[in-house]
Structure 1
Amino acid sequence: MHPRSAARRTALGAALLPVLAVLAAGCTAGRGGVVGTPGGAGLRDPYFPRLGNGGYDVTHYALDLELGSGGPSARLSGTAVITARATQDLSAFNLDLAGLEVRSVTVEGLPAAVNRAGTELTLRPDSEVADRLREGRTFRTVVRYGGSPRTVTDADGSEEGWLRTARGTVALGEPAGSMAWFPGNHHPSDKASYDIRITVPEGRSAVSNGELESRRTTGGRTTFHWRVREPMASHLATVAVGPYAVRSTVTGDGLPVVTAVDPGSAGASAAVLARIPEVVAWGEKRFGPYPFSSAGAIVGSPGDAGYALETQNRPFFPGPPDTGLLVHELAHQWFGNSVTPRSWRDMWLNEGFATYAEWLWSEDHGGPSVRESFGTAYADDANWAFPPSRPPGPADLSRPPVYGRGAMVVHRVRQEMDDDAAFFRLVRGWLKDHRHGNASTDDFTAYVEEKSGLDLTELWDTWLDGGSRPALG
């Protein structure tokens, strides 16, 4: 992502009281004497404590979406098949969903009771499937839902979720907007593979993550099936619907490159998008193998969103990007998409490294050196408003310290190591060891000290966690 602009009774008879007593105690006995407890409603993220859910890990989402013919305001009908593994014996569990009406829910083929409170759906499966909800077992949940998807306004005033554009729609999810168009475990720590099928009026394109498996038109409706094989955090999922011109090519190494461009942005974005293979090849030399099975971009119209976003496989740009922005969002495929933050407190790892990638690209292509970019960032008072590791609140996650000061932390590590070859080996090792996983700030600082053999306590205390601008020695 690039910094955002400031612009987000049921009455019960006496016959049910014994059941309530059991639930209130937090456990229920199922077939075979299995005793389960409810999964947590939220993962206690430092900035979004109710985001995500405990007690299970999603392994796959199969989303079947149908968009009506009402243009940008069209209604959405969806079926989500969620395959998950229980991480405890479950009596109930939660899903995150904002706004849309839930029409039915089954767990392992049997209807489940559903209670809704805001964006929290609490599902209580039939006792007949209790054995399928033992710790370590895999179970399948099917949610049928629909309505008019909402736009979510973030704490910083920016908009995400289901955005109506001038000629269609685009779904953007960071940090919590994906719950506006499908139910799930919407926290970056729970990554999964995806199959996304989108049916739209004939003549429209529907673009998503991963690779296009099929495209079929019947009775004036076209269904696009996109498959994401590698793990993906839900905030990185996207659907863009509109009159996009979709083009598929390959890099010199055979990596598929899929671009989808709004006709009004085609001319102004062509030259920059043509550099995607070059940027990917450059990134592989700096950071190691590209982590996904395809690359590309989605380019909408100016005003479609207030920011670009590193949606997996193909970042979204609200209008033609410049080369620096393209480099930043493609760098996120390594930093943020493959190695994803364990919590939103760790977002500086994404943005600091993606900003540093911009500095490296500039130096390698005749622009300001990394030293000069560091100096410019150091002199910018905005970068010292707070430590990048501790933004004051959710509204601050996309403010300059997370980006510019985050990149300065990366460069200070490079300076302390005093060996460029060793530094880039460390970066490539970090990405390899955490590929398609999650990592925290503590994971990173421990990794750096272990691999470098250095005690960097002072660096972390001053540059990463410190409250004021340190002197340059």
Structure 2
Amino acid sequence: MKQLLLFCVTFVSIQSLSAQETFTRKDSLQGSLRHERTCYDVLRYDLNLKINIDDKSIEGYNDITFKVVEHTQKIQVDLFENMRIDSIVCNSKKLNYKREFLAVFIDFPNDLTLNSIEKIRFYYSGNPQIAKHAPWDGGFVFTTDKNGSPWVGVACQGTGASLWYPCKDSQNDEPDQGATIKVAVPNGLTEVSNGRLTGTEDLKNGYTRWDWEVKNPINTYDITVNIANYTHIHDQLEDLDIDYYVLKHNEEKARKQFDADVKPMLTCFQQKFGPYPFKEDGYKLVETPYLGMEHQSAVAYGNKYLKGYLGSDLSMSGVGLSFDYIIVHESGHEWFGNSITSKDIADMWIHEGFTQYTELVFIECQKGYEKAMQYAKGLQRNVSNDTPIIGPYGVNKEGSGDMYPKGALLLNTLRHVINNDESWWKLILKYSETFRHQIIDTETVVAFFNQESGMNLTPIFNQYLRYTTIPKLEIRSHKKKFEYRWVASEPHFAMPIDITINGEIVRIYPTNDWTKSKQTIQNLDDVEVHTNAFFVKVSK
């Protein structure tokens, strides 16, 4: 949710954007899939850290277990330049390495055997980047609660998980066998990470280590730490474990707020998108000193126990105040973003567009179709059309923040293009289940929707994802009838759309050429375009 609400008001063309934007070697090292990255497949991360809250520092190591999938003697692991490398060890021998920006190129004494399983222990320490305005800029947050107790969290989506631990910092590779996160914090505090708590240990030095384990693959930016004077609330939804870690003085508020939305949300999403994708790791909400983030199985919550988005309605429709936005949105990412992940952050609409669409789905589950469409209509005001939703590939660059509302409105439009709710919900469910725990790209999404719908939806995807213009339906009088056509940036754009004429719903099939209607009208006011269901402009 990093770019939420950061909508620009400056309109630029694709051509001028390409001319103005330049990228550096640093961008390529972080965003590209070089041989030193693709030659190995991460199987597991095992983090063992101590966090010193007083001096805001980290020390420890990450065991990185990987499979060699291409012949190599060198691999790239990532760690921000301000973090110190103490040593990198394999088979009890220190390895040589070279640093270039965040990239750490590690040399092995011999060629690694193809298909072999290797493990390095990466010792490091330092003061991680501090976020100035988490979660919009990546880094740690060191603060205190209202009683003066330490309250620590981290959010690093987009910036990179390597700002605080060594990893292959690319969405293209997740540890197939999960991770352990063992974090030592001052006695008296609770540390919460992803997955399930496997134990605690008093280290007899003023610190207690909290051990967590994730059984499922996990995005690097989803791995997290949370430190505070927490109280633990446990609940269940059938056989799914639900856990809340909230500041002790907020327990009563948390119980009331979470009871209202969490189980209805999980019930709705499991019906529409399939079973919760990380049942083995459980579902958690963890109160954080920043607004929120989709940390897998440890969803960050900082909405101050208010309805809507910090008490406001993003859609300005009134409907958005009927639920806690952060609970619904960030939990929706468990299906879209955490279970289904984009290979490159240029395709982050696969996370954010689908997840903002889950808000509409939840509203429809709770309030009905008409309320969901009111919310959708309201989201249209949040679309800036500043730059394309899809960003440049290979340079760690996201596209426009329009990936949220415009991505959701694209999906809502596709639902009505398909024009069969039974087919639509089957398609969405199959999409979620087909690509469960997989890493995909835009082309994969489009091909799947084309195949399952039996329609050529590619021009529609292209228009909304690759251009800054919204398709415009032009309508003009022609004797006692009317004519219509699409004006769009995508060549040969065509999309069916519903209109109402004198109380009758009619589906028309505009193209780029003027088409004469079959219906008669008195004037153009008799033609009402369904702009709640279809995100389009209309010109009469």
Fold match by TM threshold 0.5: yes
Match of 2:274 in 1: 288
- Please state if 1:175 is matched with 2:126: no
Match of 1:335, SS state, is coil
The Cα offsets for residues 159-180 of structure 1, whole Å up to 9 and x where unpaired, read as 2222222223212220233212
How far is 1:92 from its partner?
1.1
Match of 2:141 in 1: 163
Distance 1:222 1:461 in 2: 52
Match of 1:362, SS state, is helix
- Please state if 1:188 is matched with 2:171: yes
Q: Identify unmatched segments of 5+ residues in structure 2.
A: 8-24, 145-149, 308-323, 474-496, 498-540
Q: Which amino acid aligns with 1:296?
A: K
**Taking structure 2 as the reference length, what is the TM-score of the superposition?**
0.73
Match of 2:388, SS state, is coil
Q: Which amino acid aligns with 2:269?
A: G
Match of 2:489 in 1: none
The Cα offsets for residues 60-83 of structure 1, whole Å up to 9 and x where unpaired, read as 001101123x43x34221111100
Q: Quick check: 444-453 or 380-389, which moved more?
A: 380-389
Q: Which amino acid aligns with 1:236?
A: D
- Please state if 1:96 is matched with 2:87: no
Match of 1:141 in 2: 120
Match of 2:417, SS state, is helix
Match of 2:94 in 1: 111
- Please state if 1:310 is matched with 2:294: yes
Match of 2:246 in 1: 261
**Aligned-residue CA RMSD in angstroms?**
2.8
Q: Which amino acid aligns with 2:240?
A: L
Contact map agreement 1:151 1:180 (CA 8 A) in 2: no
Distance 1:458 1:107 in 2: 51
Contact map agreement 2:89 2:122 (CA 8 A) in 1: yes
Match of 1:431, SS state, is helix
Distance 2:298 2:141 in 1: 18
Map 1:311-350 → 2, pairs under 5 A: 311-321=295-305, 322=307, 323-350=324-351
- Please state if 1:299 is matched with 2:278: no
Q: Quick check: 387-396 or 225-234, which moved more?
A: 387-396
Match of 2:262 in 1: 276
Contact map agreement 1:43 1:50 (CA 8 A) in 2: no
Contact map agreement 1:265 1:299 (CA 8 A) in 2: no
Match of 2:209 in 1: 223
Find the structure with the greater CA-based Rg: 2
Map 1:359-374 → 2, pairs under 5 A: 359-366=360-367, 369-374=371-376
Distance 2:37 2:414 in 1: 35
Map 1:79-94 → 2, pairs under 5 A: 79-94=61-76
Match of 1:211 in 2: 196
How far is 1:441 from its partner?
0.8
Provide closer, same or farther for how the CA distance between residues 230 and 157 of structure 1 changes in structure 2, counting only shifts above 3 A: closer
Match of 1:375, SS state, is helix
Match of 2:219 in 1: 233
Match of 2:407, SS state, is helix
Provide closer, same or farther for how the CA distance between residues 381 and 427 of structure 1 changes in structure 2, counting only shifts above 3 A: closer
How far is 1:345 from its partner?
1.4
How far is 1:226 from its partner?
0.4
Q: 1:200 aligns with which of 181, 185, 188?
A: 185
Q: 2:39 aligns with which of 52, 55, 58?
A: 55
The Cα offsets for residues 124-159 of structure 1, whole Å up to 9 and x where unpaired, read as 1223xx3xx2232211011111122222679x9932
Provide closer, same or farther for how the CA distance between residues 398 and 269 of structure 1 changes in structure 2, counting only shifts above 3 A: farther
Provide closer, same or farther for how the CA distance between residues 398 and 468 of structure 1 changes in structure 2, counting only shifts above 3 A: closer
Match of 2:58 in 1: 76
Q: Identify unmatched segments of 5+ residues in structure 1.
A: 8-40
Contact map agreement 2:45 2:64 (CA 8 A) in 1: yes
The Cα offsets for residues 164-220 of structure 1, whole Å up to 9 and x where unpaired, read as 222232122202332122101011111111011111111011100011111222424
**Taking structure 1 as the reference length, what is the TM-score of the superposition?**
0.83
Provide closer, same or farther for how the CA distance between residues 412 and 117 of structure 1 changes in structure 2, counting only shifts above 3 A: same
Contact map agreement 2:31 2:344 (CA 8 A) in 1: no
Match of 2:506 in 1: none
Contact map agreement 2:88 2:121 (CA 8 A) in 1: yes
- Please state if 1:410 is matched with 2:398: no
Contact map agreement 1:113 1:124 (CA 8 A) in 2: yes
The Cα offsets for residues 207-252 of structure 1, whole Å up to 9 and x where unpaired, read as 000111112224242111100000001011110112122223322x
Distance 1:348 1:455 in 2: 20
